[in-house]
Structure 1
Amino acid sequence: MSGSSFLGKISGFLACLPKKISRKSFFEIGHKQDQDFVFGIIGTKSLPSFSQLKYIGKFYSEKEMFITKAAIFLALISSVALSIMLYKNYVIIQPSTGGEYAEAVIGAPTYINPLFAQTNDIDQDISRLIFSSLMKINEQGHVVGDLAETWKIDEAQTTYTFTLKTNTKWHDKENLTADDVIFTVQSIQDQNFKSPLYITFRNVQVRKIDERTVSFTLPEPFAPFLSVLTFGILPEHLWQEINPSHAILAELNLKPIGSGPYKFASFTKDKKGNIKQYELKRFDDYYGQGPYIKTILIKFFASFSEAQNALAEGNVDGLGFLPQNASEQSASLSGQKSLTEHKLSLPQYTALFFNQASNASLKEIQVRQALALATSRQKIIDTAFEGVAEPVETPILPGMIGYSDELQTVLYDPAKAEEILDKAGWERVYESSIVDDAPEESQVQAEQKQETTKGSVNLGLEKESKDLYKRVKKDIPLELTLTTIQKDDMIQAAETIRDLWQEIGVTVNLKIVEIGKVQKDVIKPRAYEVLLFGQILGRDPDPYPFWHSSQANDPGLNLSLYANKQVDRLLEDARKTSDLTERQKKYIEFQQQIIQDIPALFLYSLQYTYLVPNDIKGIETIRINHTSDRFSNIENWYIKTKKRIRF
């Protein structure tokens, strides 16, 4: 019994031996049932399920399991890398329509009409968004076509012919044609319309050639003409029934209809009737690319501090202007909110303009030379603007036609200034020897001096006493009145200039004038001896309005009342040629004469700074000619994005 049983077990073992060998004999006998299960599955399915893969360890060795896991890990890494590569190379992130941007500006709107907007920065800002023009300023500060698709200039350089783009529409869906351009120019030329652009276009002939073509004929060549065609075009079908004498009262000035990237939606007033906000909506039929941001809100504030508070409280997204001396506030705001500070080059300089007709001492070239040598531009910039400004020494700025860094300019040298005045006969009289024997002032004189700060007063700033002296020539003191506007940075600059000049014996009295009165009470009557003031040069660096003798009186901008026949000829010839090389040459000659005559001292140029949230992309503007030019590529700004596969 026992023998037959033993033989049966042996024959059974031999019968199972092939299966054991095929199951890799180094596996434990206890795993036999699991192996039978797995092999049974393989016989019925091509691939095991996820739940079945958990048994793989039952028949893989430790080495095989390590290799398998490593292979799976490498496969995952390769898949991720391949996915990233495919995403970068074939998936494009594009701007998408949507989002809202609210900007705070200082001031209030009056006429949202491009023919009246020149006198108000807020009006120009909104007009820039709503209206289109024949030409426009791009983000590089160059003049390019807007409504104009092509243009050509005849050989005489007096006739300009423009062809308009197709499919241009007004916000009320009407077509824009050459008739609208003709109507706009003729409205400017109508004195009853009272447009500030009248003087520029009064002698220009405009003619319609066909529905898309219009020509302008000038009485003589004028090289910067393309840059003056950046004013917005009005819709004839809406304005033709309005009496030109009453145009300034038209409702369209507050509820404008244009052809630009944004259209008027609404405005909001407070209880006193003051407009507090303009809401603009994307114009879906705009002829150009974009715009992408769906809604733009322009909110108006009386002061920078109010606008700053609105930004801090989240009532606005950005600031349309950031003062030069507000760097600390900017850093604080940028730390609290996700903001980007954009600094734009502006064709502006601040200078000291000498009115030689108001003070005989200024007629002496030696006096003007000494004042130039005693003026430290860097000290003025450091004191008034915390170093955030660019020194300027000539009337044409970097990047403009005519600029040259090879011109010989005057360097700060107070010792040389003292030497020049000594040789010119201006004697030094030290304070200890000065006897005050002046007659008593009349009541009128006393009232006039209420607005004037004498040179020995520091406007609240204490200055260490020094062995100062005054200068006298034939019993006439070397004394000047320096006038500027009531603005903190301008007052600080004026104080610094006063202190610098007093160190060479020039007595300087400061006269501070309210900003709202400076045009009427000071500039128009040319009522100043030395004027510290800023000038914006415009879209073309044409110095004619600022330095030609014909512009010496109001409304001309020749604030030094400068008259030089050679300079007049250079400026007249330069604006008549479109040859850039020739204009460059004449402008350099003009500047050489200005440096020699010293009718003014050019001090510094400020950048235009504004804050926008980080989530607004597409802002590429680097150079502007007016503050409204910060919107030069507004149609490319975007907040929302979308993804597209590139094949």
Structure 2
Amino acid sequence: MKQQVFHETKNVSFPRWKQWKQLPSLLSKTEQRILQTAFILAFISLFILVGGYLFTHGSPSPVFGGTYTEGLIGAPQLINPLYAISDVDQDLSKLIYTGLFRWDPENGIIPDIALSYTVSEDKKNYYIDLRSDVFWHHGSQVQAKDIILTFKLLQDPAYQSPFFSRYQGIKVEEINPYQIVFTLEKPSNNFLSLLTIGLLPADLWQSIPAQNAVLTSLNREPIGNGPFKFEKLEMDKRGVVRSYELSAYQEFHRGSPLIKQIHFKFYPNEKTAEEAVKNKHIQGLGFVSPEFVSLFEKEGMKFYYPQTSRFTTLFFNTQKHPALQNKEIRKWLARSIKSQSLIPPDQSPIMMPIFYPFFPEITEKIEISSIVSNSEDQNLATLLEAAKIQSPLALTLVTVDEPEFRFMAETLKQQWGNLGISLTIQFAPPASFEDDILRTRTYDLLLVNIEMGKDGAPFIFWHSSQIAYPGLNFSQWKNEDIDPLLQQWEETQDKTQQTSLAQSMETILEEEVPAIFLVRFTYPYTITKRIKNVFLPQIHIPSDRFSRIETWYMNTQKKINLF
């Protein structure tokens, strides 16, 4: 009997479910409550342990989804890269179309639809290979025929593109469906920037005659190849577009956007946009005037202030007033300016003082005091006497009759007046400024805003061939050392060589000071804090803020890191 019991016990395994079900009947009520409590505590402990692990070892990972609504001042007219000149049209075109190349805030001009390119030895031929994974929103593949058609329309005066003049002297030919060649009349280092313009699908546009090009519905309901595609629009009774909806193009060649939809709402002015923010109708606004910054901050919006390529610059006319022909006097005048004081109080932080000249994206920042150190120990009277120029110094400054220029000019007059300089200010009407002032060059000093462009554009501002109108060498400055350097800059695409040339030219410009940059503009852009991964160190035009929009995201989920 004992052996039998021993034998049966030896073969018993872990209790079966039926046996476990009998457990409550074997326990007293007190024991049952204790067991129940133990199970509940064990479950809570397990929940806390797992939750704690997820919290400490998990990281938020972007996921597809979300709808972002942005307000824009104005209304779309022609959402077409060949015609987009307003900020609104350019913003929408940027999202719907892409080009052979694109501008990146960190890397400058880089390939987009272009896979690779080579340049001939004489720098007149550009051979471009195309990516084979780029498709239009209606499904057809982007090929060489689309590039040929786009440039044909750009160069045809009958289509009346506002960019017509930029694309003359350029020949484009198809080698095969995935390779093209551009031939230039002369080398140009900014040619790649011309290839950032968005492309049009040939199968849709080749049958549209020139007289109907601005009338076609494709300008309001476009079919492009960009990160977002057109979904729908809403118009009021007057035919004005009030809202515009885009959805993520998930076959986008740089990767599917992470935001599912983008809605735009259009307002006639900032006051109505302000009300839209208060009422939670929009989550962002392109360009915010300083007076509205505090309001949007109270609404929990995040601000970005990317630097732009627009500068307020004071040009010294080196061919008119004898004092301004003397570089030591120009240095002294430059050093005497307090740029911070020139910014109207209501324009900060849209305008920021700068303390470096000429090539801000390439060379290191240089303090104005170091630029003019040779004349630092001399006073103006001594310099005027040495140059045999009558003292006190009397100069005439010409600028545009607009509030910010009035403030800056009057402030500069006061600064120089305290130093014994007589400054007469002439305010010219904006409508006649180009013909009356820029064409004739009748000024001692010129205070204007300039756009440096994506490539820095030094040639048009400093080369002697640009002294006469319509050139932009407003200083009428001629220097035999810088001209050949500028010519080399104009012809090279090599970034290392450009940097070397910029440094050499910077040295000359520091020594000669034909002008001085006073203020650099920013682009105040406000957006909901829900939008993540926004990278905006600088832009050239407002639509550049969308350069990396496919990487923006709104939604996340926890990703577990096991190790």
Correspondence for 1:254: 220
Within-5 A mapping of 1:11-410: 45=20, 48=23, 55-56=30-31, 76-77=44-45, 80-86=48-54, 89=57, 93-99=61-67, 101-117=68-84, 119-244=85-210, 247-323=213-289, 325-326=290-291, 329-335=292-298, 337-356=299-318, 362-365=324-327, 367-381=329-343, 385-386=347-348, 389-397=352-360, 400-403=361-364, 405=366, 408-410=370-372
Distance in 2 between the 1:627 and 1:223 partners? 23
Aligned length: 543
CA, structure 1 residues 50+254, in 2 after alignment: closer, same or farther (shift >3 Å)? farther
Question: 1:269 Cα shift?
Answer: 4.2
Distance in 2 between the 1:583 and 1:51 partners? 90
CA, structure 1 residues 163+494, in 2 after alignment: closer, same or farther (shift >3 Å)? same
Q: Which amino acid aligns with 1:389?
A: M
**CA deviations over 1:293-338 (Å, ceiling 9, x no partner):** 3332333344434433332333322111124x44xx4233222x22
Distance in 1 between the 2:231 and 2:378 partners? 63
Q: What is the SS of the residue equivalent to 2:218?
A: helix
Is the counterpart of residue 627 in structure 1 residue 542 in structure 2?
Answer: yes
Unaligned runs of 5+ in 2: 1-16
Q: Which moved more, 1:226-235 or 1:373-382?
A: 373-382
Q: Which amino acid aligns with 1:217?
A: T
Distance in 1 between the 2:182 and 2:26 partners? 83
TM-score, with structure 2 as normaliser: 0.83
Q: Is the CA contact 2:331–2:371 (under 8 Å) kept in the aligned structure 1?
A: no
Q: What is the SS of the residue equivalent to 2:198?
A: coil
Q: Which amino acid aligns with 2:507?
A: Q
Is the counterpart of residue 507 in structure 1 residue 428 in structure 2?
Answer: no
Correspondence for 1:599: 514
Q: Is the CA contact 1:223–1:578 (under 8 Å) kept in the aligned structure 2?
A: yes
Q: Is the CA contact 1:621–1:633 (under 8 Å) kept in the aligned structure 2?
A: no
Distance in 2 between the 1:250 and 1:528 partners? 47
Distance in 1 between the 2:177 and 2:59 partners? 43
Question: 1:614 Cα shift?
Answer: 1.0
CA, structure 1 residues 52+523, in 2 after alignment: closer, same or farther (shift >3 Å)? farther
Q: Is the CA contact 1:189–1:202 (under 8 Å) kept in the aligned structure 2?
A: yes
Question: 1:154 Cα shift?
Answer: 4.0
Correspondence for 1:433: none
Correspondence for 1:612: 527
Question: 1:178 Cα shift?
Answer: 0.9
Q: What is the SS of the residue equivalent to 1:346?
A: strand
Q: Is the CA contact 2:326–2:387 (under 8 Å) kept in the aligned structure 1?
A: no
TM-score, with structure 1 as normaliser: 0.73
Q: Which amino acid aligns with 2:113?
A: L
Q: What is the SS of the residue equivalent to 1:347?
A: strand
Q: Is the CA contact 1:96–1:642 (under 8 Å) kept in the aligned structure 2?
A: no
Question: 1:52 Cα shift?
Answer: 6.5
Q: What is the SS of the residue equivalent to 2:138?
A: coil
**CA deviations over 1:176-213 (Å, ceiling 9, x no partner):** 21100111122222233343444443222222121122
CA, structure 1 residues 269+315, in 2 after alignment: closer, same or farther (shift >3 Å)? same
Match of 2:400 among 484, 489, 493: 484
Q: Which amino acid aligns with 1:81?
A: L
Q: Is the CA contact 1:484–1:512 (under 8 Å) kept in the aligned structure 2?
A: yes
Is the counterpart of residue 537 in structure 1 residue 499 in structure 2?
Answer: no
CA, structure 1 residues 527+181, in 2 after alignment: closer, same or farther (shift >3 Å)? farther
Q: Is the CA contact 1:263–1:280 (under 8 Å) kept in the aligned structure 2?
A: yes
Larger radius of gyration: 1
Unaligned runs of 5+ in 1: 1-41, 429-470, 473-477
Correspondence for 1:582: 497
Q: Is the CA contact 1:373–1:417 (under 8 Å) kept in the aligned structure 2?
A: no
Q: What is the SS of the residue equivalent to 1:186?
A: helix
Correspondence for 2:12: none
Q: Is the CA contact 2:340–2:352 (under 8 Å) kept in the aligned structure 1?
A: no
**CA deviations over 1:407-449 (Å, ceiling 9, x no partner):** 9413797983354235445555xxxxxxxxxxxxxxxxxxxxx
Q: Which amino acid aligns with 1:216?
A: F
Q: What is the SS of the residue equivalent to 2:524?
A: strand
Q: Which amino acid aligns with 1:486?
A: E
Q: Is the CA contact 1:161–1:214 (under 8 Å) kept in the aligned structure 2?
A: yes
Q: What is the SS of the residue equivalent to 2:413?
A: helix
Q: Is the CA contact 2:62–2:258 (under 8 Å) kept in the aligned structure 1?
A: no
Correspondence for 1:546: 461
Q: Is the CA contact 2:83–2:162 (under 8 Å) kept in the aligned structure 1?
A: yes
Correspondence for 1:566: 481
Q: Is the CA contact 1:380–1:497 (under 8 Å) kept in the aligned structure 2?
A: yes
Q: Which moved more, 1:407-416 or 1:367-376?
A: 407-416
Question: 1:108 Cα shift?
Answer: 4.1
Q: Which amino acid aligns with 1:379?
A: S
CA, structure 1 residues 542+356, in 2 after alignment: closer, same or farther (shift >3 Å)? closer
Q: Which moved more, 1:494-503 or 1:104-113?
A: 104-113
Q: Is the CA contact 2:73–2:269 (under 8 Å) kept in the aligned structure 1?
A: yes
Distance in 1 between the 2:467 and 2:236 partners? 44
Identity of aligned residues (%): 29
Distance in 1 between the 2:489 and 2:97 partners? 31
Question: 1:577 Cα shift?
Answer: 2.7
CA, structure 1 residues 54+426, in 2 after alignment: closer, same or farther (shift >3 Å)? farther
Distance in 1 between the 2:138 and 2:40 partners? 63
Q: Is the CA contact 2:248–2:257 (under 8 Å) kept in the aligned structure 1?
A: yes
Distance in 2 between the 1:332 and 1:133 partners? 37
Correspondence for 2:3: none
CA, structure 1 residues 362+122, in 2 after alignment: closer, same or farther (shift >3 Å)? farther
Q: Which amino acid aligns with 1:391?
A: I
Superposition RMSD on alpha carbons, in Å?
A: 3.7
Q: Is the CA contact 1:401–1:580 (under 8 Å) kept in the aligned structure 2?
A: no
Distance in 1 between the 2:322 and 2:162 partners? 35
Q: What is the SS of the residue equivalent to 1:619?
A: coil
Match of 2:384 among 416, 421, 428: 421
